[in-house]
Structure 1
Amino acid sequence: MKKFVYLIVIITTLSSCAKKEEVKNPGLAPETNRIEGSWKLVYADILENDSLQIKDLSNTDFIKIINRTHFAFFNQDRETSDNFMAGGGSYTFDGRSYKETLNFIASPDYRGHVFPFEVEIKGDSLIQKGHEKIEEAGLDRYIVEKYIRIK
């Protein structure tokens, strides 16, 4: 009987020393973690009032940073301090549906507004589509944006 007890103690001790797998972002599905990171806008089109505009990104940098609970974006003309814009807030993401709540931005009409998007992540690309509408600000447009992950 003593040998049996010693054997149980040894097995318990050894099993407690085993390396445990690290859990990253507990409670979140792996596909929702894929959105986290730093992203650079490489393509954007805007459909507004029956007019399609392809955004000229040749002289500007637009970066979006997404962590586990919040996002931030920054836009700056290259080689000048003109046209700087930034904003951020919280978001939800279930693997496809992505909703940004814009809490921080210079335009008061935009604050607190929820922007719903559909997101698709393919490799190092993030494609975001949605309808941006804020009546008080006169905003009513459909967007398609493509980002690449910054490594």
Structure 2
Amino acid sequence: MNLHTNLMKIVTPFIVAAALLTSCGNNATTKTETKEDKPPIEGTWQLISGTLTEKKNTVVTDYTKDQKAIKIINGDHFCFLIHDLTKGKGAKPNFSSGGGKYTLVGDKYTEYLEFCNDRQWENNKFDFTITIKNDTLTQQGIEKIDSLGVNRINIEKYVRVKSN
């Protein structure tokens, strides 16, 4: 046996081991985010119904009739869009939008409204409790803006919008 053959017998197992260790390490560090990694609140939600209770008056709105509303929630921001289905030409033309940052700790969801077509609502904080069951998100909390005389309980029910 010559020196070259002996050296190859000694070095080859180390090269193979190093290659295996390197490839295992790369797999562990190059993990890509999947849908399962995202919090369940993230996504697009269609508003189905809203219940507002102020003083002793309760108003329930069916958002599946004559209008459509969605809420989009990503890692740190939310936005909502509402419009009538008559393109503003019906008896009750409507377009509303807003958004901002949010925090979620357990089931405590807080919206910090930074943008709103009704500018008086901007720069207010709204605390909600959320529940998610299957593809249904329910958020309930108090909307209070002293300067506008708003102090009401708001309960909204959403269903997840399926992606194509």
Q: Under a length normalisation based on structure 2, what TM-score does the superposition of the two structures give? A: 0.80
Q: 1:4 to 1:149 in 2, by over 3 A?
A: farther
CA distance in 2, matches of 1:128, 1:71: 14
- Structure 1: gaps (5+ residues): none
What is the identity percentage for the equivalent residue pairs of Structure 1 and Structure 2? 34
Which amino acid is 1:13 matched to? A
2:17 to 11, 17, 21: 11
| Alignment pair present for 1:115 and 2:126 | yes
Cα shift at 1:23: 4.8
Cα shift at 1:107: 2.6
| Alignment pair present for 1:84 and 2:95 | yes
Higher helix residue share? 2
- Deviation string, structure 1 residues 23-77 (Cα, Å, up to 9, x no partner): 539xxxx5x7111000001121111111111113211101000011100100001
The secondary structure found in structure 2 opposite 1:24 is coil
CA distance in 1, matches of 2:47, 2:55: 23
For 1:22, the equivalent position in structure 2 comes to 31
Which amino acid is 2:66 matched to? N
Aligned-pair RMSD on alpha carbons?
2.2
Greater displacement, 105-114 / 127-136: 105-114
Q: How many equivalent residue pairs?
A: 147
Which amino acid is 1:85 matched to? S
Which amino acid is 1:143 matched to? N
For 1:59, the equivalent position in structure 2 comes to 66
Runs of 4+ more than 3 Å apart: 2-6, 18-21
